[in-house]
Amino acid sequence: MFILFMALSNIEKHYNKHPEDLRLLRRHGVVEFEVTMHHLRQFLQPGQFLLDIGAGTGRYTSALMAEGYKVKAVELVRRNIEVFLKREPGADVVQGDARDMAFLPDGIADVTLLLGPLYHLISDEEKLKALLEAKRVTKPGGVIFVAYLMNEYSILSYCFDEDRIGELLAKGQVDKDFHIQAKDDELYDYVRIDDINRLNEKAGLERVTIFSPDGASDYMRTRLNRMNEETFAHFIEYQKCISERPDLIGAGSHVVDVVRRT
């Protein structure tokens, strides 16, 4: 319990300092949001009930509510919930941990979103707790959208771009295959597609599709900000078009794995 408390405190400190509500309003975040919504709409049907686990400040919940869906949100960080309810006072949101949602019955959701919690869970064991809970609360045949942070984005953006790669290799924080080796007390973990495949096999989840919601946008933040509205709209459509291409999926900062509870 003490270890869990410490881990949650680190997450809360991060989101108190870095307001999540602003991230999806910046242009690189808008790309991520619009592409994810594009893929979600391909699975949604009128009258469905959705769970948004790790809802943050509720951007996805709000958008889905506006489209007529009933959504229950679960969020760990109290500050995020306060921001969420200030913007969306009618939202159904509870504070909870993605690894243990005993307050939710089995098989209630047609579609479940898990678009943030696995960023912060380091070991396979901890990730599997969240995956299995999401599986439990999803109806048989229902789909789960699971987001991950990608290894190569971190290697390129932080290790090489900040000229830290030698130091991190020497400390074993990056292994000889250039895979980040996050410690239990770190805030983020980064994966490759092979890691995601291993987790799906352990959790008994079947992939429907996998896509990159942001592609090159995190590498192109300043360029995106310089684009006029027409060019930026074309960029969003471009990312929708290429988001499932196998040769590009692992290169962005995130992927979303769409899996089915069989």
pLDDT means over runs of 10, the chain (262 residues): 45 69 80 97 97 96 97 95 94 97 98 96 97 98 98 96 96 97 92 98 98 96 96 98 95 96 90
Which tokens is 24 given?
A: 């999806």
CB–CB of 243/40 below 8 Å?
no
Q: What is the pLDDT of residues 150-207, one digit of tens each?
A: 999 999 999 999 999 999 999 999 999 999 999 988 899 999 999 999 999 999 999 9
Pair 77, 104: CB distance under 8 Å = no
The pLDDT, as a whole number, for residue 6 is 41
Give the number of residues written for the chain: 262
70: domain CATH number is 3.40.50.150
Token duo for residue 148: 């991950």
80 contacts: CB under 8 Å, gap ≥ 6? 15, 20, 21, 55, 56, 57, 58
Q: What is the rounded distance in angstroms from the CA atom of residue 124 to the CA atom of residue 126?
A: 6
Question: In the prediction, which pLDDT does 25 show?
Answer: 74
Per-residue model confidence (pLDDT) at position 18: 66
Q: Which domain holds residue 114?
A: 2-260
Q: Which two tokens stand for residue 33?
A: 């949001």
Two tokens, residue 117:
């919690």
Residue range 34-51, pLDDT digits in tens: 999 999 999 999 999 999
Task: Tell me how many domains the chain contains.
Answer: 1
pLDDT of 4 reads 41
The answer to whether the CB of 247 falls within 8 A of the CB of 207 is: no
**What does the DSSP assignment read for 42-65?**
TT--TT-EEEEET-TT-HHHHHHH
pLDDT value of residue 2: 31
